[in-house]
């Protein structure tokens, strides 16, 4: 089998239903994008954006992948079409790991060892796994290492500006079957403790709670917050301090009994290695639409060698990112729990005719060959930019 064509589709899906205007005075607004003026937060889009990769073989099999691109999907698409395509054309698509390594090495000496370029590789890697599964008529988890579990447990995300809002959101999520919730909170420590306390009161002792502060703490205030959260039986504190501060993360992890979960921005084993060396976290959060399945498996193996669990990040990833993460979560020994956006799922699914749906806080596994998504090519073209 040979690869005949490689195409990238940068897509932007408008939100379903009510669209809230986000252009308030504390933000810089540019088109769909907005960013806070007064805090070091990420730039966000009001749309669902990502980069899809379509690879066709001479035997007629088509594989679809996704390199996560919550903003600027055309940047990732350019890397796929200008840099990955020449490596891939006429190659055997079943040489999946070789091809990841070949593409990675093509830009290594120039320092493009993470970021948009490695996201592009992830998109290709997912598409190649989709082809491999379709060629062998097996779901990808069977080819990644086999089925380690019956279902994939998930949590969904919430939060809120105040205790009452957070309480309501949490109640609605528990009512549809989730028994694990993550709160995205950027408030001062005392306000976070009040919000989590209200949510704990609402959902009771049996629901697992996690808190993500998106790196917005120094080391000592992260430790103080962690102690408050331990008293509320919180499972993990996510991204407690700056993404670059490996030793700071390690100090926090050592000081606290709850888990420090982190690493959605780390794409390769070489990036993860120093975090493992310093034992700078308790739960690894690789994002499969940034690492690819190939590198994701190596990261899981590295963590497993150090008795560290993996809780895959999905964040703003699209429906193929969700599907690939389910396959990955099924096929690694040290899986803990997978992130899932309950609210965004329907919008993400608009580019597919068939895609995985959660049931009562987990994803069931089935035998669909490949990643388990049937793409609607017409919809992809409609939302392409």
Select 119 or 212, whichever has its Cβ closest to Mg ion: 212
Select 212 or 271, whichever has its Cβ closest to Mg ion: 212
Q: How many residues does the chain have?
A: 385
Select 66 or 212, whichever has its Cβ closest to Mg ion: 212
- Report the C-alpha gap between 11 and 354 in whole angstroms: 18
- Report the C-alpha gap between 323 and 326 in whole angstroms: 5
- Report the C-alpha gap between 101 and 96 in whole angstroms: 9
| Residues whose CB falls within 8 Å of the CB of residue 30, separated by 6 or more in sequence, listed in order | none
* CB 18, min distance to Mg ion, A: 25
Within 13 Å, how many C-alpha atoms sit on residue 370's CB side? 21
* CB 264, min distance to Mg ion, A: 5
- Report the C-alpha gap between 313 and 321 in whole angstroms: 10
Select 46 or 262, whichever has its Cβ closest to Mg ion: 262
* CB 186, min distance to Mg ion, A: 12
237 φ/ψ angles, rounded to the nearest 5 degrees: -110, 120
| DSSP code per residue over 60-87 | S-EEEEEE--SS-HHHHHHHIIIIIHHH
Q: Give me the residues that bind Mg ion (CB under 5 A), please.
A: 212
Select 124 or 283, whichever has its Cβ closest to Mg ion: 283
* CB 157, min distance to Mg ion, A: 9
* CB 212, min distance to Mg ion, A: 4
Select 265 or 270, whichever has its Cβ closest to Mg ion: 265
* CB 89, min distance to Mg ion, A: 36
Helices vs. strands in the chain: H and E counts, helices first = 14, 16
Of 151, 145, 87, nearest in space to 120 by CA = 87
């Amino acid at each position: 089998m040979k690869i005949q064509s490689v195409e990238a589709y940068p897509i932007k899906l408008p939100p379903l239903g009510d669209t809230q205007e986000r252009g308030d005075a504390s933000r810089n607004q540019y088109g769909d994008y907005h960013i806070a003026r007064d805090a070091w937060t990420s730039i966000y889009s009001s749309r669902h954006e990502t980069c899809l990769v379509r690879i066709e073989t001479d035997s007629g099999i088509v594989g679809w992948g996704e390199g996560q691109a919550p903003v600027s999907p055309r940047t990732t698409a350019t890397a796929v079409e200008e840099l990955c395509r020449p490596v891939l054309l006429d190659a055997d698509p079943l040489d999946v790991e070789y091809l990841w390594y070949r593409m990675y090495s093509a830009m290594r000496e120039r320092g493009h060892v993470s970021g948009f370029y490695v996201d592009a590789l992830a998109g290709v890697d997912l598409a190649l796994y989709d082809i491999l599964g379709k060629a062998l008529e097996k779901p990808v988890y069977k080819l990644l290492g086999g089925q380690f579990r019956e279902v994939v447990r998930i949590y969904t995300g919430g939060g809120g500006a105040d205790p009452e809002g957070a309480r309501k959101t949490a109640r609605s999520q528990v009512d549809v079957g989730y028994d694990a919730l993550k709160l995205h909170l950027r408030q001062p420590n005392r306000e976070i403790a009040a919000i989590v306390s209200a949510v704990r009161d609402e959902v009771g002792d049996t629901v697992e709670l996690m808190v993500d502060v998106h790196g917005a703490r120094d080391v000592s205030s992260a430790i103080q917050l962690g102690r408050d959260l331990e008293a509320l039986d919180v499972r993990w504190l996510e991204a407690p301090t700056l993404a670059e501060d490996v030793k700071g993360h390690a100090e926090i992890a050592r000081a606290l009994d709850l888990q420090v979960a982190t690493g959605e921005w780390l794409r390769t084993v070489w990036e993860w290695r120093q975090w493992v060396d310093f034992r700078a976290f308790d739960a690894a959060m690789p994002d499969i639409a940034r690492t690819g399945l190939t590198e994701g498996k190596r990261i899981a193996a590295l963590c497993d060698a150090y008795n560290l669990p993996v809780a895959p990040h999905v964040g703003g990833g699209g429906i193929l990112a969700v599907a690939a993460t389910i396959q990955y979560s099924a096929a690694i020994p040290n899986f803990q729990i997978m992130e899932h956006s309950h609210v965004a799922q329907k919008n993400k699914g608009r580019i597919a005719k068939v895609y995985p749906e959660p049931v009562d806080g987990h994803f069931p596994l089935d035998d669909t060959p490949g990643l388990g998504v049937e793409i609607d090519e017409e919809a992809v073209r409609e939302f392409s930019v």
